Chain A
Amino acid sequence: MTALQRPKPAAGQIANLKERPRGESLWGDAARRLRRNKAAIMGLIIIIISILVAIFAPAIAPYDYKTQVRADNNAVPYWVTRIFPNMIPEDEGGYITVTDKYPLGSDALGRDLFSRIVYGSRVSLAVAFVGPVVSIIVGLLVGMIAGYVGGKVDNTLMRIVDVMYAFPTFLFIILLMAFFRASFTQVEQGTFSYYISELDSATGGLLFIFVGIGLTSWMQMARLVRGQVLSVREKEYIEAARSIGTRAPEIMRQHILPNILGPIIIAETLSIPQYISYEAFLSFIGLGVNPPTPSWGAMISEGAQVINSYPYQALFPALALFFVMFAFNFLGDGLRDALDPRMRGVD
């Protein structure tokens, strides 16, 4: 895998090597195999599109996410009434206001549903990126130190992880969010908690979601990293590095990290849908983003209340959530196949 392992070519073989196509690196090989995986590429395309949508939301969305035209509440374009047979337009004796102003209809307060879905992608994707970043930073640090140093340090850190692991994640995150929401409202001006709650309000309630997900997601990563470190710690190249006097941080960064990156990337990509669903779930039960910040989970929750009269209000954000979660799942699966060392060279 590294230069140390590769056998030195014999002199007579040099000419031979030049004739063959250049050898591929691990990453090149993985990328090639990923490209052949249609589902993964499809997922990647959907993810890229949704990232673009999130970045250029103001240009894509026809309306602002919080603009209410209250007189246009629950109005839909005609084609939506054709999908749901019980949504009979007003002029056919029903109760549905038909208008072409809103591509996917409007919600109970006359806000454009499409614009809210577009802006809602920002929340989901922010969680999809911040979740892994937090969990990698904390998990990598804890896992590497535990795995490399070993002994008492390892024992202590891993017992902490065990204790944290013992809590059901959902319950833990609900408790955390309820605690944040209760203890950071109504605080005295000028105190530390005041600035924290100001920051949370400024991010539309996302800060606490990040903290909540961060606090509950690093344990798995720490365990994984520790296991990987243990398996490479005793390898010859690490011994060699140690023997020439390389310092521990250097060894971890230069020699261990590159060799355990594959499984970490796979694990994180596969857990992104989990982070997205945490956010959606928290918003669904009212512990997530603050209104009027649109989040798919919150929109599904609002829509679910009126699912009999206005089914489209839950369906469209649910579809958006569905596509993005599937995209991350397929990409994660594809990456796992591509980065699996046993699959190297196999087409």
Chain B
Amino acid sequence: MNSARRSLRLIGLLMVFAMLAVLAVSGVGAQDAKILVTGLNMVGADPDNSLDPSLSSTVQSIQILDELYIGLTHLNEITAAVEPGMATDWTISEDGLVYTFNILQNVPWVRFNAESGAVEEVTDESGAVRYVTANDFIYGITRTLDPVTGGDYAYVLAPYIVNGVEFNAGEAAAEDLGIRAVDDYTLEITSPEAVGFAINIYGLWMARAQASWMLDEFGDTWVEAENRQTYGPFAMKSWNHDQDITIVKNPFWPGTEAVPQPALDEVVFRLLDDTAQFAEYQAGTMQAAVPPSAEIDRIKADAALSEQYYAGFDSCSLYYGFNWEKAPFDNVNIRKAFSLAIDRESVVNDVTRDGRIASRWYSRPGITGAPTLENNPDLGVSFDAAGAQAALEAGLADLGLSSAAELPTITLGFGDTEYNNLVAQAVQQMWAETLGIEVQLSAMETTTYFDVIEVDAPQIFRAAWCMDYPDANNFLYETTRSDSPNNYTNWSNAEFDALVDEARVSTDQAARAEMYARAEEILVAEDYALAPIFWYVTRQVVSPDVTRTFSSIGLERYEKWDFAG
């Protein structure tokens, strides 16, 4: 090697160093990436742990899915109105049955390449970029409805596609589904009934585009970050199971009015419970967190934290269900006694103390069709000690028992979180004080608990429902109708079923509101199938450095978040 060459090398090396220095000074380096770290409380969420659009059913999974895949229609996080998502526009036939969607063009499928550290477009065998087409939506919807897939939400989608229910039951072929691609970017869905909120349902996560070639290539491992192909505003960068999920900005997402290009480069979801999240937040390692409700008093009293705290509308509704197949809850008076004995005001004012609303019925006021507190001052149930004791007397007389001591042991089951435990102990004491009945508490590991209540719920069980789309149908038809898979009470009432069936397809909103109010009356105050406890509010602390939108739908739209300044 001669000296001339050596000095050339030296010059080259120096130039590289100089360039690196310039990069560092001008701040183009990785340090400047806008990375938001937030938390996701996955306790009990997503037992299958797949983040699969066809299988997922919990808010936590849907939060991630909503950033990775965009639906035909999109739910505005503030107004809960329907906006264009992957469909730029759509037409509905005059009879309200045929929906024709024009799909956004030039949205490529992408994946995160860990080697290059960048999001890249997915290409087919010939090297051409794969764009999202109507056929990908058909594939996604068919996969969800396929009985082999076994999706938890297939039953929500199936009734709004011709032959959907039959196909999901294994009685029709995939070709018979009322769904077809007019061309690559035009999708036509035919519904067997004209239903106002069907347009919401076509936008939900189980009706999104899925990549058939990816599933063929990777089998069950397609869900992992290194294999997963998506098309939404974010792509999946990494997924350390039970630890964290990182999503990264997808530069190929074209950005629309409803779903803009993200300002953040990355969002890290750390899978922590509320207590751990809040501790991390206070330590400054997270920019957004859900604080535990036990800390709310301190947060509100603290000058700085109270500014960062936000409590907003949340669609979730908590109830204690009664298993009708287990004595003594096969008796209406016993159920009534247990429901009336719960002092819901005391639960929200003294136990949760974070602005929750004591609920008198099941469906959350504020969503379309659900009864509102203003219009229905006398609807539903509330605490009534004398009424509860009278009902207990009547119930014992029905059963031929002389005292409550002769009742079988009664068990209240719930997923074992500190918070469920607290509410359960408060209600346990209310039952002891008002009815003189000692109820046993059975705290189960959260994932196990959900499996248990699906198959064989305890006599009394805790459950909650959060909306998937803002319509009372989502509560009353889909979770409490006699044949719903989410109806763990084993309750059925023909009048109730008829009411929610009629309200489902009615277009007259005033009439629907009346029907739902009547249905609620049957559910919580005539049959006492379940005891509503409270309606939730969201709790959040977010760093003052973050600019954001305030969501009312229980899901955040991180593509609209940014760091200030």
Contacts and interface: CB of A to CB of B under 8 A. Distances in A.
Interface string A46-83: 00000000000000000000101011011000000000
Interface stretch (B17-25, B121-129, B415-423): B415-423
Contacts of A310: 294
Contacts of A71: 346, 349-350
Interface in B399-416: 408-409, 411, 413, 416
B413 to A, nearest CB: 8
Contacts, number: 84
* B interface: dominant SS: helix
Interface string A225-254: 000000000000000000000000000000
B440 A306 contact: no
Interface stretch (B200-208, B229-237, B295-303, B535-543): B295-303
A68 B429 contact: yes
Contacts of B416: 286
A5 interface: no
Nearest to B440: A201
B275 interface: yes
B350 A73 contact: yes
B418 A305 contact: yes
Contact of A109 (B292, B413, B429): B429
A110 B433 CA distance: 15
Given A185-B411, A305-B275, A291 B292 contact: no
Interface stretch (A25-33, A88-96, A149-157, A319-327): A88-96
B195 interface: no
Interface string B113-155: 0000000000000000000000000000000000000000000
A73 B456 contact: no
* A interface: dominant SS: loop
Given A108-B294, A306-B292, A308-B295, A292 B425 contact: yes
B277 to A, nearest CB: 13
B159 to A, nearest CB: 34
B350 A291 contact: no
Contacts of B275: 305
A292 B422 CA distance: 10
Given A73-B351, A109-B429, A292-B428, A186 B294 contact: no
Nearest to B295: A309
A191 interface: no
A337 to B, nearest CB: 43
B443 interface: yes
Contact of B292 (A73, A302, A305): A305
A189 interface: yes
B84 interface: no
B428 to A, nearest CB: 7
Contacts of B432: 66
A320 B294 CA distance: 24
A304 to B, nearest CB: 8
A297 to B, nearest CB: 14
Contact of B301 (A93, A181, A182, A301): A93
Interface string B343-387: 000100111010000000000000000000000000000000000
A286 B413 CA distance: 14
B425 A109 contact: yes
A74 B441 contact: no
B238 interface: no
A108 B422 CA distance: 8
B441 A290 contact: yes
A70 to B, nearest CB: 4
Interface in B275-291: 275, 278-279, 282
B470 interface: no
A159 B353 CA distance: 57
A308 B298 CA distance: 9
B421 A291 contact: yes
- Which of A90, A108, A182, A189 gathers the greatest number of chain B CB atoms within 10 Å? A108
Interface string A282-299: 000010001110000000
B429 A66 contact: yes
A-B residue pairs, 3 tightest by C-beta = A70-B350, A95-B301, A95-B297
Interface of B: 275, 278-279, 282, 292, 294-295, 297-298, 300-301, 346, 349-351, 353, 408-409, 411, 413, 416, 418, 421-422, 424-426, 428-429, 432, 440-444, 448, 456, 458
9 contacts: A66-B432, A109-B351, A109-B426, A110-B350, A185-B458, A186-B456, A306-B295, A308-B282, A308-B295
